[in-house]
Structures are given as C-alpha cells and as structure tokens.
Amino acid sequence: MSMEAFKENPWKESHPAYEKKTFFHIRPAPEFATAEVVVSSLYRACGFETLAEKDVPAAGREFAKDSQAPRIHERSGTKIDMETWRVVLNGVLESPKQPNQSSKRFLQMCPLVPDVALYSGSARLAGNSWNPGQLIQRMIGYGSENYQQAQNLWQKLYEALGISGTDDIWARWLHQEFGLRRRNGAEWKISHLPDEGGLPLQEKSRLNFPARQFVRDLEGVIQAKPFMTRRQWVSLLEAQLRLGSVAHVLWLCDVNYQVWQAIRRALHADDYPSAEEVGNRLISCTGHYLTYGNPAVPIIRDYASRYLVARIGINAVLWQLQVMGVEIKSLESCEELSGLLRKVGEKRNQLLAAGLEATVTELQEGEKNARAIACKKGIGSNLVEFARHVLGQRQTANEILRGYDQGYILRKKAEYSSAPWIVSMGPVSILALVHCCLRDAAGPRSIQKLCQHLAAYGIRVDRDNVTTGDLGRKLRMLGLVLDSPDAESGMLLVPPFDGTLKTQSA
Amino acid sequence: MNPLVLQIAMAVRERTATKVRSLPGTAAELRTVFHGPPIEFLELVFQELVKDGGVKVEAANGQSVIVPILLHSESATEYPQVGHSGVCAGVHLNDFRNQPGCPKFVALVAPGNHPSLALTIESASDSFGLDVRSNSGNATIEDWWNDDFIQSLVNGALDRFAISKETDREQARQMIQRSVHAADEAERHGVSRIGAWRILSRIYCIPGNAKVCPLLSLACGFPTTDDGELAMKDQYEVLQRLASHLEENGITKGLEELKEEAEPADIEALDAFSVHLHAICDIPTTFARAASYFYSPCRGDDLASPPKWWMHLTLERWVELLEEERRPEGALRIECTNFIFPPFKGGHSVVHREVDLLVSAPEDQAEPVQAVLIRPPFLIWSKVLRSFMGLVCQTALAYSSIISFSWSFSTTSPVPPCWQLPCVAPPSCWPSEPDHPSSRPDALAPPPPDSFLMLHYSPCQNHGTIQYFTEDELILSPYSRPMFHIVALNSVA
C-alpha cells in the first residue's frame, strides 16, 4: 500500500493507522439496515457467532421450504400441526414487508426469540451483508469504563436475549418449537467480546459521547425485562439500539470532521491543542446532531458528507507524513491525536510544499469521488440509508400494518410520499427513554432531565416547548408525566415500569 | 439604528400604549412579555426603548405613564430598581411580578430563552410579539414564517419597497421565504434563527426608492438579473443548478469546469466567487442544502455594497455558464440516431420500439476510454448488457446500490459505432434482483414489445437516461420510468 494506491482508490486504501488503530474510524461500515435487522444481527453477534450474515438468507429459504414439507415436520417431533406452524411463521411472527419488498417471497420475522435470527434479519437478501451486530458490540466496548464492565454487560445482554424460565409462555413456546427444527448445528452460546475499548480509560472517563449513555441505558433496558412481555421488551431494546447506533455513527462522523478541521488549523497556524483540549474540543459530543420536530435526513447527509471529506483529508496527511519518513502508528487516544497535530504543525512547510492541499482537493473533487462525497453513491449513500432506515418508522406495503413500528425516532411529516422525515419519537422510544432517564434517579425528575438525556444522544429538544409540542402530547398520552401547573419546575416524569412491578406483586 | 430594530421598537411602543390606554386607571396592572428576536437584536430594541426610561404613554386623562422595559438575560448578575428599566435574569422577573410597587412592565424575551418563565410570568401576564410556540426550539421554520408577527414584519418591509405590481410583491415575498428557509437549514434549525432575522434586518436596510431586484437579491443571497426585474423562479432554479453542479464535481473542480469556456471577466468573477465560497463552506453538500445562504455575499445585519463577482455573475451569466450543451472536454458523446422527432434543446429524443445510440469517444482520443453503463437494480435489460459485456466488458460489480458494468473502447478499437438496445426479456441466467433499499417499489417488468423509448442525455453532466412508455403513457405521462444511465467514468483530456 502506498500514497499512489490511496490516490487511485481513497475509499479502499486507508492508511494502516487509520484503518486499524484509530478510535474514530467507523467500523463496520454501516449500510442499509432496519431496526429489526439490527436486533437480529445482535442476536447472531451475541449467541450465534458461527453463523455468518451472508448465510442467513439461504438458511431462511431452506427453513421456509422445510416448514412446508410434511415429512420434515413430522420428524421434528412437534405436537402442533403443520398448518398451525405455517400460520405462526407467515402470519403471527411475520414482520411486514416494506413497499419495495411487496412482490418478494422470503421469510421476514419479528426477532422475538434467538432462533428467528438464524433464518431472517440480514441486511441483504443476497451477497455479503454488513454486520450491524458488530457495530453494537463495538459500541459496548466504547461506552464501558473498562473491558471487565463491557464483558459483564455483554454477558447480561446474552442472558437477556436468551430464553429462560422468566420469559413469557409465548416466547418459551416459540423457543421450544424453533429448537425442534433448528438446522445447521447452530448453538446459542455466548460469543467472545473483542477488547475494543476505543479510547484509553483515563481519557474516556472525562468525555461525553453517545456510546457512554447507550451502555448505561442498555443496562436499564435489560433490567426492565421482567416487567413486561417478551414482545414488549424486544421492542424496547430495539428502540434503544436504534437511537444508540445512529447517534454513535453520527458522533464518529463528527469526530472525523473535527479532527480534519484541527489538522487544517495546524497546517496554517500554530494551533496545537493539548490532549485535554483535543478531548474537550474535538471528541466530546457538545452540540446536537438533530433537532426535535425538524427534518433529519439533510443533516444526516451533511454529517456523512463531512465524514468522507475528513476521511480523505486525514488519510492524505497520514500517507504524506509516511512519505516524508514520519510514521504514525496509531491514533487511539487524545494524546496520540494531539501528537499528530503537533507533527503536522512541525512539518507544515514540507506538507504544504509537497502539495498536500492540492492532493486533497483533487481527491475530494475528482469525478470518481465527488458523487460519493455528495452521498449519491458508495459509503456516504450507505450511511444515509442506514440512519434513515434505522431511525425512520417502518413503511409497510400493507396499509393496515402501518402502525406496526412504534419504536421509531423519525416519522414522515405528512402522508404524501416525498414528505420529509422529521424527528418525532414513537411511543415505545419514549417509554424506553423515560425509563432509562429515571433508572438511576433517586428522586423525581422533571422533563429537563429528559431533554438532557436526549441531548446525550445528540438530539435537541427545547424544554420550554415540550409541554405544548408533540413530545409533551405523547408523554401525556402514555401517562409518563405529572402536570403540575403550580410547580415552578413544570412537568415531572413518571417511571413507566415501576407501576407494573407494583401491580404484579399485588 | 437598524431599521428593523426601529420597526420592532415601534411595534412594542404601539402595543404597550394601546394596552395602557385601555386600562381602567393609571394604577392598574400591566405585566406583559414580548417574545422577539434573538438577543443580538433584542439588546438594540431595548436600547431604543429605554431612551426615555421606558415606553412613555399619554393616558386619556392627560397623565403620562412610563412603562419600564426589562430585558431578560440569564447571565445578568444585577437587576434594576423596582419601576425602572434594565437587564435582569428570570428570577428577578418573578420578583417584579410579585412586587405591588411594580404594576407595569414589558419584559423582552429572546427565542428559546425563557426558562422558568413559561409557567410563572406568563400565567400572570399577557404576551405579544411572536407566539411563544413559534419562537421555541421545537418550532419548524414554517411555524416561524407563518407567525403573525413575522408576517407583519415582512409585510412592513414589502410596503417600503417601490413595487407596483402584485406579482412582483409575491415574488419578493417568495424570495424572502426561500432565503429564510435556507438560513434555517444552514444553521440546523438553531433556536435563535439568527440567520433568518439577519435576512429580515437586511431587507429593512433596502432604501424605499431603490430598484428592488438587485438589493433584495443581494439581501436574500440570489444572483440578480441583468434587467433588474425580479425573476424569482429562475433565480432560485439557477442556484439549484449551480448547487447540483458543484455537488457532482466538487467546488473547485466544478468552478474550474465553468471557467473552461468562459470569458476573462467571467473567470475573474468565478475566481472571486470560489474564494468567497471556500471561506464559508467547504462541503458541496452543505452548499446544496442552503445555496442562497452560502451564495450571499452579505452575512451581517446590514446591506453592505455588493462585491464585483456578485454584480458580474447575474442570473443570465450563470445560465450561460451552466448551459447544458457546454460539453466538457473529454466527455463521451452519446447521440440518438433514430429519433422520431428531431431533438431540441432541453428536450428528449423519442424513438419507437428500440433505440439506436451512437456512443463515441472524445475528439483526439488515443487512449482507451473507461465508461460505465449503470442499470438500476429494478430494471431487467440484461441481455443487452450481456451483449455489451461479450464485446468489451472488463468488470462487473453486482449487488452494489447500483449495478454497474465497465468496459473500455477507443476510437481505433473495433467496436461497432452504434449500439442497439432492443426491448428484450432477461435470460434466466441473470442473477436475481438484489435486495436493496434503492430498489423501487414498483419493480418493473421488461418493457412491452411495442413501447416507445425516450432518451435524454446531458453531455455537461456525462449522464443520460432512457425511459420507456406505451402509447397511452406517451400521451398521459411521458416522464415515467428511467431505464438506465450511461455515465463516463473518466474525463480524459
């Protein structure tokens, strides 16, 4: 690999330090996925490690075929008749097809129990799919204080995703029936969690970024499992994964851009931030990515575009430094990032003399890359697809099932097909959010805390407008707030699942 | 003082005076909150209002009353005495509300900056200016634009202009609206909407006797017109075309391309525009999202005199520079040879049943040209593509968001000069449809055998489409479904 190879194909030939030893490189590269695909893929990443994403569609086709073969049905030892099982697969468990899938015949099921993930829920129906489960895996590593904590959470997640005696009868029955028909020797067994902590522990503790909040909230969602049915819990988990995964990707896009801006500043002025300043100014998530009630996709496209520009720029600098004999081995901490900026400053004249800026412009604006940077194709387009489909409410081919997805973060502003996607959370997302927000609170919490919680994921809500806006209306509808006109602090949040606990014990 | 500030101050004075005069006596209470512009403007409004110590009102009985003005600022550490104007934090506003000795005041509150006011001050007072919901962080720019107070300010500005025709007035309103939307996009729907307020401020700086188009276009961030008449639709569209051109080619290269056949004066202006754009926006996608915001040479509260490049690059100059027929050097030449109607500028070639395309390499091209034929995944024209591949195919990239095939040819290679694309069904060996979100919901069957085809090729963008339709559709909806795209991969000069 060399500078020339990078110039030839900047998306494939990243600098080794950027590719393998950088905490802000987006790995795995997100592509199209739906929320259910993320959950299914997480099942596989957590407990069916041996099953590759690309093998899922074929396994699904085989499974669907087997479910219609009387001999195989009898051999399984099940006590239900074949027609009933067929209705379970194609009716009860079926996840609605999207408008562009209406004519396709394939098994698409709600990921209610782990075995469902063996046969459905891959990002693509053919070819190599990317692995959203690995993205969640990495997020857990990033957000945890240390590897031990990450492993503990991974273990808890594995146990919660699995089916045990505490799960409801419907889940246990499904688990049993799927178990009788399990193919290809798959075994539900916890997979190894790679030690990918992102940043060093001492730096991580003083930074704020979405994965840290996500890890706390994931633990909260796991804790809520006993208070609801399996279906409700999976929806809750799905809502949390949606918000967390997209916020994480947008944060990484932003960090890339901030790093590139810092490099540009170092190229033109003596501006070398210390490791602490790098953490506070470049890495910590201080602003917001999306605004409640406003269109989201153009902003997501903007972030993706900036990421691509930054990725080319950072790699060009790393390759050029290598040509000049300065080897950057890793960028895994704020300290190392600060070191890179210092080196860029020291070598400023040589870098500029070597035509670095012209090279970057050439790469960013070449015919091959301009459309990619404009998110019309390639990585940028995939990033936008990922965020839009994971956050957006599922569009269904069957109009009757349009309310299937209630854990969305984005919804269409109006009925017409080209209506913009605006930030407006669905009831399940709001339940998940309020639960997580109140989980570690000793006393009452007002909606201010809810706004701060959303801000940790980069979504801005105007607190003073919650009472009259869409969020306030939904909070009231779900019984999640106490309106207190006399209280100076306004609305108080009501824990959604503690009441359930009391009812059950009573 | 900024005319917008004076206008807002006048609105506050008039409203306060009306309210005071309607009170039963001078001792009656009037606690009111004005929801207005961001703090940058609100401070100026405050300074204007407190010139006389507050709003001075002559009551019906001849007595005069001074209503103190309180500017809300959470960073304020001190607060004025009861009954006096000044800057104070929210907690002090609450104190004033509770003071019997302070029966009247007008509080000025900036957008999204009314913590602890919503349920306290407002429940014991009335409010005016913007609706608090339109001025909040969760309101959309449409809510803000449609607010009565904003509309009254826009109407106030339009009334000042020397516009006689109603259509011109409507165009001016649309231009302001587009510009405000772009500012909101660029600022990512920030709660203060400072960009939108700055546009209002700039349009208030336009002298009433001046010709409207150039100055309004300057204030709103559009290119002006040669004849000085508003042409909002064209002005907007040309910016969109520029944005999409820069998105396709990048800012530097896109502008370089425009300079290729430009005159020296154009080149100079384009160079200056390039400097302007690079200084404020380094990502073409960002420019495309809010073109007028970034195009505008004026970004402050006042209407500065326009730079040379803005005066030179008028609507007409941009139209000429962005002319589609200006085929870039090194572009593939694609022509339809069996059209039914002769092609016309900006129109489509229509053929019957099949299309004969003449694809030729750029002039003076010795090296092989790499080109790509892109088939959207929902289309099945495989046999045609395979016949291409049989000839000169190099690689096939299946299952990407678009399926593409690359081949190379040169003017000297033995490739037939004309490729026929008949309407055929796909062979069974063709891979199944990939599952991809870009797949259209209405996945198409092969075109009916007696269908018409329509070719549109834009040499400037190296991009062409062929659409098919039946005879009925030809009459009803000729712009139906794109069949495939032909894109030149490399521009070889």
Q: Which pLDDT belongs to residue B427?
A: 31
Q: Which pLDDT belongs to residue A353?
A: 93
Q: Identify the weakest region by mean pLDDT among A492-506, B73-87, B204-218, B475-489.
A: B475-489
Confidence (pTM): 0.80
Which residue of A9, A100, A418, A447 to mutate against B (max B Cβ within 10 Å)? Answer: A100
Q: CB–CB of B137 and A365 under 8 A?
A: no
- Chain B within 8 Å of A382 (Cβ-Cβ)? yes
Domain shared by A129 and A278, yes or no: no
A122 within 8 A of A56, measured Cβ to Cβ: yes
- Please report how the helices B264-280 and B251-259 are oriented relative to each other, as an axis angle in degrees rounded to 10: 170
- Chain B within 8 Å of A129 (Cβ-Cβ)? no
Q: Identify the weakest region by mean pLDDT among A97-111, B197-211, B388-402.
A: B388-402
Domain shared by A189 and A302, yes or no: no
Is residue B351 very low, low, confident or very high in pLDDT (cuts 50, 70, 90)? low
Between B364 and B136, residue with greater pLDDT: B136
Domain shared by A24 and A40, yes or no: no
Domain shared by A45 and A192, yes or no: yes
Report the residue from A366, A385, A462 with minimal CB separation from B112. Answer: A462
B435 within 8 A of A126, measured Cβ to Cβ: yes
- Chain A within 8 Å of B264 (Cβ-Cβ)? no
Q: Which pLDDT belongs to residue B412?
A: 36
- Chain B within 8 Å of A292 (Cβ-Cβ)? yes
- Chain A within 8 Å of B279 (Cβ-Cβ)? no
Average pLDDT across chain B, whole number = 72
> How far is the CA of A290 from the CAs of A25, A313, A329, in angstroms?
21, 25, 35
What's the CATH code of the domain at A499? 1.10.10
Does some domain include residue A399?
no
B202 within 8 A of B5, measured Cβ to Cβ: no
Which two tokens mark B230?
Answer: 């508003």
Is residue A32 very low, low, confident or very high in pLDDT (cuts 50, 70, 90)? very high
Could you report the per-residue pLDDT of A437-448, keeping only the tens digit for each?
A: 998 776 778 888
Does some domain include residue A227?
no
Domain shared by A372 and A487, yes or no: no
Domain shared by A340 and A468, yes or no: no
Report the residue from A293, A385, A470 with minimal CB separation from B437. Answer: A385
Task: Point out the domain boundary residue: A155, A182, A197.
Answer: A197
Q: Which pLDDT belongs to residue B485?
A: 41
Which residues in A lie closer than 8 A to residue B401 (C-beta atoms)?
377-378, 381-382
Q: CB–CB of B402 and A373 under 8 A?
A: no
> How far is the CA of B40 from the CAs of A172, A232, B2, B45, B335, in angstroms?
62, 48, 12, 9, 57
Q: Which of residues 180-239 of B touch A (CB under 8 A)?
A: 185, 188-189, 191
Q: Identify the weakest region by mean pLDDT among A90-99, B163-172, B355-364, B470-479.
A: B470-479
Between B332 and B376, residue with greater pLDDT: B332
Instruction: Tell me the average pLDDT across A310-318.
Output: 95
Which residues in A lie closer than 8 A to residue B490 (C-beta atoms)?
367
Could you report the per-residue pLDDT of A234-265, keeping only the tens digit for each?
A: 999 999 999 999 999 999 999 999 999 999 99
Does some domain include residue A287?
yes
Residue the block writes with tokens 């805390």: A449
Domain shared by A55 and A168, yes or no: yes
Question: Is the pLDDT assigned to residue B446 strictly greater than 90?
Answer: no
Please give the tally of structural domains in chain A.
Answer: 3
Instruction: Tell me the average pLDDT across B76-82.
Output: 83
> How far is the CA of B425 from the CAs of B35, B355, B383, B448, in angstroms?
65, 16, 7, 9
Domain shared by A135 and A184, yes or no: yes
Does some domain include residue A437?
yes
Q: CB–CB of B138 and A291 under 8 A?
A: yes
Question: Is the pLDDT assigned to residue A434 strictly greater than 50?
Answer: yes
Which residues in B lie closer than 8 A to residue A463 (C-beta atoms)?
115
Q: Which of residues 460-499 of A touch B (CB under 8 A)?
A: 460-471, 485, 487-488, 490
Q: Identify the weakest region by mean pLDDT among A209-218, A361-370, B63-72, B342-351.
A: B342-351
Q: Identify the weakest region by mean pLDDT among B11-25, B148-162, B202-216, B407-421.
A: B407-421
Could you report the per-residue pLDDT of A472-488, keeping only the tens digit for each?
A: 899 999 999 887 655 54
Given CA atoms A262, A267, A270, A274 in this order, what sign does their dihedral have?
Answer: positive
Instruction: Tell me the average pLDDT across A16-44.
Output: 94
Instruction: Tell me the average pLDDT across A270-294.
Output: 89
Q: Identify the weakest region by mean pLDDT among A258-262, B73-77, B281-285, B301-305.
A: B73-77
Does some domain include residue A47?
yes
Does some domain include residue A415?
no
Report the residue from B136, B286, B441 with minimal CB separation from A465. Answer: B136
Residue B100 burial (CB count, 10 A) = 7
Instruction: Tell me the average pLDDT across B365-369.
Output: 54
Does some domain include residue A445?
yes
Instruction: Tell me the average pLDDT across A358-377.
Output: 86
B199 within 8 A of B220, measured Cβ to Cβ: yes
What is the chain B residue with the closest CA to A362?
B253
Which two tokens mark B18?
Answer: 């009306």
High-pLDDT (> 90) share of chain B, %: 33
Could you report the per-residue pLDDT of A138-153, keeping only the tens digit for each?
A: 999 999 999 999 999 9
Range of the domain at A149: 35-197
Domain shared by A158 and A278, yes or no: no
- Chain B within 8 Å of A154 (Cβ-Cβ)? no
The rounded radius of gyration (Å) of the Cα atoms in chain B is 31
Domain shared by A55 and A189, yes or no: yes
Is residue B449 very low, low, confident or very high in pLDDT (cuts 50, 70, 90)? low
Which residue of A289, A365, A377, A452 to mutate against B (max B Cβ within 10 Å)? Answer: A365
Could you report the per-residue pLDDT of B276-300, keeping only the tens digit for each?
A: 998 898 888 899 999 999 999 988 9
Residue the block writes with tokens 């209306």: A473
Report the residue from B191, B436, B437 with minimal CB separation from A462. Answer: B191
Task: Point out the domain boundary residue: A156, A173, A197.
Answer: A197
Q: Which pLDDT belongs to residue B368?
A: 53
Question: Is the pLDDT assigned to residue A317 strictly greater than 60?
Answer: yes
Question: Is the pLDDT assigned to residue B413 strictly greater than 80?
Answer: no
Does some domain include residue A112?
yes
Question: Is the pLDDT assigned to residue A9 strictly greater than 70?
Answer: yes
Q: Which pLDDT belongs to residue A272?
A: 84
- Rounding to the nearest 10 degrees, give the CA dihedral for residues A347, A349, A350, A354: 130
Domain shared by A169 and A277, yes or no: no
Domain shared by A18 and A47, yes or no: no
**Residue B422 CA, distance from chain mean position:** 41
Q: Which of residues 156-185 of B touch A (CB under 8 A)?
A: 185
Which residues in B lie closer than 8 A to residue A470 (C-beta atoms)?
138
- Chain B within 8 Å of A417 (Cβ-Cβ)? no
Is residue B410 very low, low, confident or very high in pLDDT (cuts 50, 70, 90)? very low
Closest C-alpha among B351, B408, B370, B245 to residue A370: B245
Instruction: Tell me the average pLDDT across A63-82.
Output: 89
Counted across chains A and B, CB pairs separated by less than 8 A come out at 146
Q: Which pLDDT belongs to residue B339?
A: 67
Q: For chain B, what is the HEC assignment?
A: CCHHHHHHHHHHHHHHHHHHHCCCCCCCCEEEEEECCCHHHHHHHHHHHHHHCCEEEECCCCCEEEECEEEECCCCCCCCCCCCCEEECHHHHHHHHHCCCCCEEEEEECCCCCCCCCCCCHHHCEEEECCCCCCCCCCCHHHHHHCHHHHHHHHHHHHHCCCCCHHHHHHHHHHHHHHHHHHHHHCCCCCCCHHHHHHHHHHHCCCCCCCHHHHHHHHHCCCCCCCCCCCHHHHHHHHHHHHHHHHHHCHHHHHHHHHCCCCHHHHHHHHHHHHHHHHHCCCHHHHHHCHHHHHCCCCCCCCCCCCHHHHHCCHHHHHHHCCCCCCCCCCCEEEECCCCCCCCCCCCEEEECCEEEEEECCCCCCCCEEEEEEECCCCCCHHHHHHHHHHHEEEEECCCCCEEEEEEECCCCCCCCEEEECCCCCCCCCCCCCCCCCCCCCCCCCCCCCCEEEEEEEHHHCEEEEEEECHHHHHHCCCCEEEEEEEECCCCC
A454 within 8 A of A433, measured Cβ to Cβ: yes
Is residue A1 very low, low, confident or very high in pLDDT (cuts 50, 70, 90)? low
Instruction: Tell me the average pLDDT across B53-69.
Output: 84
Q: Which pLDDT belongs to residue A223?
A: 92
Residue the block writes with tokens 């854990």: A407
